[in-house]
Chain A
Amino acid sequence: MPRVLLIEDDPSVREGVELGLRRRGHELRAVESGEAGLGALAEFRPDLVLLDLMLPGMNGVQVCRRIRESSQLPIIMLTARGDDFDVVVGLEAGADDYIVKPARTEVIEARIRAVLRRLAEPVGRSGIEFHGELAVDRAGLSVAKAGARLLLAPSELKLLLYLSASPEQVFSRQQLLEYVWEHSYHGDARLVDACVRRLRQKIEDVAGSPRYIQTVRGFGYRFGPLE
């Protein structure tokens, strides 16, 4: 069972989520501030962070940025719908997914599992694929550009693996939400857009004119073609 670090300032939410997840067998550490959360990272070594956006002192977005400076730990934000701006900022800061409060434990757990789940391996493919300057190792779950290994957050890696498995095929944002994030078809397409932006920052030569992850206006995204 994954180890979850919960950073949440409200005692009732903290206690409720802790109780629910522990009951389902998760190992959980719950802290009430961003500073305490960052402090617990090295010692607790979580598999995933559940991060409330509205924190006193250092807020969730800052905590998220701080974690991403050194680690590709999966991060799920806890947010209230309507705090739209915070969601966008949190996603830009590198969060992989978000959950709208209040949520049932089963929903929270399903999200945790989805973020941690590895994509199904495409049948009959092994070894390292090369796309332009990108080297994609599906088995080793790593991507290198021009020989240098890229640090990709879990959602970024999954999106890149998914798109590059079917080069030149167009996927709608709704399809990507379903396949990569395991959200409903009607979920928040900003997850996809924010992830694509972050991914382009890391893999494209010029983020403004992408080669690898291309936008197909009115339809969605596709990988390539690379000339």
Chain B
Amino acid sequence: MRLLAARFGLRIRLISAFLLVAAISAVTTATLTYREARSAILQQAQDTAVAQFRDRITAQAVSLPVDAPRLRTMCQTLAREGKPHTWIVFAEYADLRVSSSDRSVSNVITPELRDAARNTAHASFQRVVKDGKPWLTIGMPVMFDQGEGRQPTGLVLYAVMPLLPEEANVSAMVTAARDGALPALLIALVPALLAARSVLRPVRDLRRAAAGIGRGELDTRIEVKGSDELADLAWTFNESSSKLQQSVEELRQAEERARRFASDVSHEMRTPLAGMLAVTEVLDEDAAHLNADTAAAVRLISAETGKLATLVEDLMEISRFDAKAADLHPDEVDVAETIRKTLQSRRWEDRVATELPEGVRAVLDPRRFDVIVANLVGNALRHGAEPVSVRLWTERRDGRDRLVTEVADSGPGIDAAVLPHIFDRFYKADAARTRSAGSGLGLAITQENVRLHGGTVHAANVPSGGAVFTVELPREGV
């Protein structure tokens, strides 16, 4: 059934069910009618014949004993008077066998009828089909009155009558039933199609609306027509999508509030930090002249102020990405030069091996590309192990030139459990792990910057050990 449901659509199944019901009722009606009519026709023919045979025999005065010529004459008389059709009459008396036809013994009369006719006082009959032809056979013992009752004379008369005309009537009825059922089925197709349509149209509307919701068009609604189950369904659908729209809107607002809060907090922290950061130098210089404890406290404050400033800057950067307020300032640059400058400005030239082909120009935001490369190389130097390498090449894929930058280290690689979360914000591989030198936002910011360029970044481990970060950017810019 499920296979059937899968193979055929709702329309086909509805129409088939409709036609099946129509066919079953037509066939049942026809069968019952046929059976009743057939038995009525045959019964009537049979009753008429039996009654007639009995009357005719009673009308003949039979005097015993009988001889063959008289018996033959009687049979012929009886046969002529046959109703509704002519009979063939056979007579049996002891060993005497006579009939109204050429053959003296019938091959249609069965032994059962013979037994019944000999052993009862009244007429017996049987319907027989012989060689595909239907026959009615009647057996009638001839009786005589003798004081207290009727006694059998030993003479038994049989009438054999063909039932062909009745059979023709019956088969005409079958034909009529068939000829009536086929148009009925065809007519049933019309309401079937109409019913299917009235079910299928709301279903199609529903499908279209559901697809709309799937595409994020949460204001999709269905027109509710009538008050049937499908209208209920449409109403429920509308109700649910309203609720969904409302929930999504609430979520969006909550998310927006959370983002704005993070942004506001970092904004508010920036002003005091600006004052504090400007004086850290004073603290650092004078710490030497203070007693040991105070000096340690002062140095701690100075160092942590610096880290806090970095964290706040990173938070603000992330907030700008979240608010889609980060803008790209693309410029055409020499990429090898750009990467070299990134390494030089952080004094990493000696710690990083490079493979930077000359003359590769690309359209990118130099400041953001600097952040991408610096975060990846910084991450490799901090968490991986030297040698760290930076390789640059271009590829052509899907009809676009792509700029590929690969940063690899020779450390133990990234734990498989950590790998899927490596670009998550503040993701700590180990909950108990101490704070690293970075803000915990470096790789998240890297990913956002790459996305802003319309590119991709992914992290992997190489079989020989070590982690590899691969950045792909469109060479012609976004």
Interface residues of A (CB under 8 A from B): 10, 12-17, 19-20, 23, 80-82, 84, 101-106, 108, 172-174, 184-190, 218-219
Contact = CB atoms under 8 A, between A and B. Distances in A.
Contacts of A188: 329, 367
B264 interface: no
Interface in B306-351: 306, 309, 312-313, 316, 320, 325, 327, 329, 331-334, 337-338, 341-342, 345
A106 B26 CA distance: 101
23 contacts: A12-B275, A12-B276, A13-B271, A13-B274, A16-B275, A16-B278, A16-B279, A19-B279, A20-B279, A80-B267, A81-B316, A101-B271, A101-B274, A102-B273, A102-B274, A102-B277, A102-B312, A174-B341, A184-B370, A186-B345, A186-B370, A188-B329, A189-B331
Contacts of A102: 270, 273-278, 309, 312
B426 interface: no
A173 B282 contact: no
A29 B345 CA distance: 33
B270 A189 contact: no
Nearest to B340: A185
A19 B282 contact: yes
A172 B282 contact: no
Contacts of A19: 278-279, 282
Given A105-B281, A174-B366, 17 more contacts: A10-B271, A16-B275, A17-B275, A20-B281, A80-B267, A82-B325, A101-B274, A102-B276, A102-B309, A103-B274, A104-B306, A105-B278, A174-B337, A185-B370, A186-B367, A187-B367, A190-B329
A174 B332 CA distance: 10
Given A82-B316, A102-B273, A190-B329, A185 B338 contact: yes
A148 B337 CA distance: 41
Given A102-B309, A186-B366, A219 B278 contact: no
A19 B329 CA distance: 35
B83 to A, nearest CB: 118
B277 A103 contact: yes
Closest 10 CB pairs of A and B: A12-B275, A16-B275, A16-B278, A186-B370, A102-B274, A185-B341, A101-B274, A102-B277, A218-B332, A20-B278
Given A174-B366, A186-B338, A189-B366, A106 B331 contact: no
B34 interface: no
Contacts of A219: 332
B369 interface: yes
B183 interface: no
A217 to B, nearest CB: 8
A174 B278 contact: no
Contacts of B325: 82
Contact of B270 (A80, A105, A172, A218): A80
Most buried by B among A14, A20, A103: A20
B280 interface: yes
Interface residues of B, number: 38
Nearest to B367: A186
Contacts of B278: 13, 16-17, 19-20, 102-105, 108
A186 B369 contact: yes
Nearest to A78: B274
Contact of B313 (A12, A13, A81, A184): A81
A219 B276 CA distance: 41
B111 interface: no
B272 interface: yes
Contacts of B345: 184-186
Interface in B342-382: 342, 345, 361, 366-367, 369-370
Contacts of A218: 332, 361
A178 to B, nearest CB: 8
Contact of A16 (B277, B309, B320): B277
B342 A15 contact: no
A184 B333 CA distance: 14
Contact of B275 (A10, A187, A190): A10
Nearest to B309: A102
A184 B338 CA distance: 11
Contacts of B327: 84
A12 B272 contact: yes
A172 B334 CA distance: 10
Nearest to A173: B331
B281 A23 contact: yes
Interface in B23-48: none
A89 B278 CA distance: 26
B303 to A, nearest CB: 12
